[in-house]
Each structure stands twice: as structure tokens, then as C-alpha cells.
A and B are shown apart, each in its own frame.
Chain A
């Protein structure tokens, strides 16, 4: 297991499922046995404004917030939120932008959050079974099939 803390920032607009995605990521890392912390701001952000959520996991995590310029991964759900959030990435950090998943690839664009998690999952040391368990735990049963498919599409979008 990787002992260094991994820093992920997920960003987008209110209503896009940013917090849902960070819940799933945090839970997957928790199931994989890491210490995990997740942080975001609720409240005003729910009214269509910018939303971002920090997830950190490793052997022992202290602050729940990713320090500016120290994110290893930045996952962005809205095209116009890419540049706003880019400063959180460290030098050499990886941006996973919404255009990674083509406009008509997903049967429903609402599952973009989960598709981008699929892409992210290629880069993290978290077993696929933990991801799938976390997905099932955080989504209502009727949405499982569509989201598991979106997750698989995201995984395929990144070369192994």
C-alpha cells in the first residue's frame, strides 16, 4: 500500500454530483484500508455556484483540506471550472477534465461524475472491487446499472 498521502480535488458546479463523487472516492479508499479525510463547503454552494471537494488518503492524514498547489489529481466536471481550479494541482499533477468523456459516449450525461471516477481509478491504488462496493453503497439501486456502466466507460477512457 502507498504510504504517502494522495490528494484529490473534485470540482464542478452545484447539482453536478461533485459531493456524491467525493463520497464514493472517500468510501472506496476507506474500504481499501487507508486513513481517509474528505472536506468541502456546504451551504451557499448548493445554489448553482462553484463546488469543490477535497479527498485525502494514505497511512495517516491530518488536515482534511488539500493545501493549494498540492493536489495530485484534479477531477473537473464542468468545462468552465477547469481554469479556476487548476492552481490546486501540484507541478506534474494530473488533470482529469470533462472532455475526457466524449459528448455522446454516456447514455446520460448526469453520470459524468462517476465516469470521471472510473478514469481516476486507473491511477489510484484502490482495488476495483472497493470502487464497485462504494458505488453501490452511495447510489440508489435503480441507478446501479447505469453508473456501473459509466464507471466502466471512464476506466476504458484511460490506457492501462
Chain B
């Protein structure tokens, strides 16, 4: 039942759309897959789109936070897009702060933001 999240390359960015609820194993595989892909493609930025995701618990939040920091160590910037209102509310109520995380409303805005950050 293990599934892998597809990681697409567009110019020098990677695009990830998380389409279903993440279980622990998928989340951890995703972490490794993304870093490996950064390494092999020399991409400079990543957009992770969470539009279809309707809840994030502390574990998934930690995996996301870690993968952002790990990507940073490898020299890539990450933008998270598409966080639903219900997800934003529950994350804050739960007490989780994704600090210093770059976010945008949707994929399009996220790519623009990433391009600006990579130029600047």
C-alpha cells in the first residue's frame, strides 16, 4: 500500500503536488525522494502544493518542516502553497508554528514567488 509522491521538474524548479492524505511511511519516503531529486537535477527551488490536503497533524508538519530545512542545507528554496483554511486553523490551534516557511496561496503564486526569491 506504499505510494510514492511524483516529483516533477520544470526549468530549475521541482514541483510536488501532494494529492492524498500522507501516512508516515509515504511522508518519510517523500523526504528522501525529494532530496535525492534535488541532488540529481541540481534544482534551485521547490514548490510543494498542498491544495487537496484537508488536515495536517504534528507528524506531517514536522516532516514538512524538516524537508524545508534539509532542502535549505542543499541550497534550494522551498515554497509551500495551497494550505486550506481548515488546515491553517488546526495547525495554529495545535500549537505548530512553521516558522520561516515561505508560503503562497496557490501553485501559480508559489512559482512566481520562488522565481523572485531565486533572482533576488
Indicate whether A and B interact.
Answer: no
B→A interface (CB under 8 Å): none
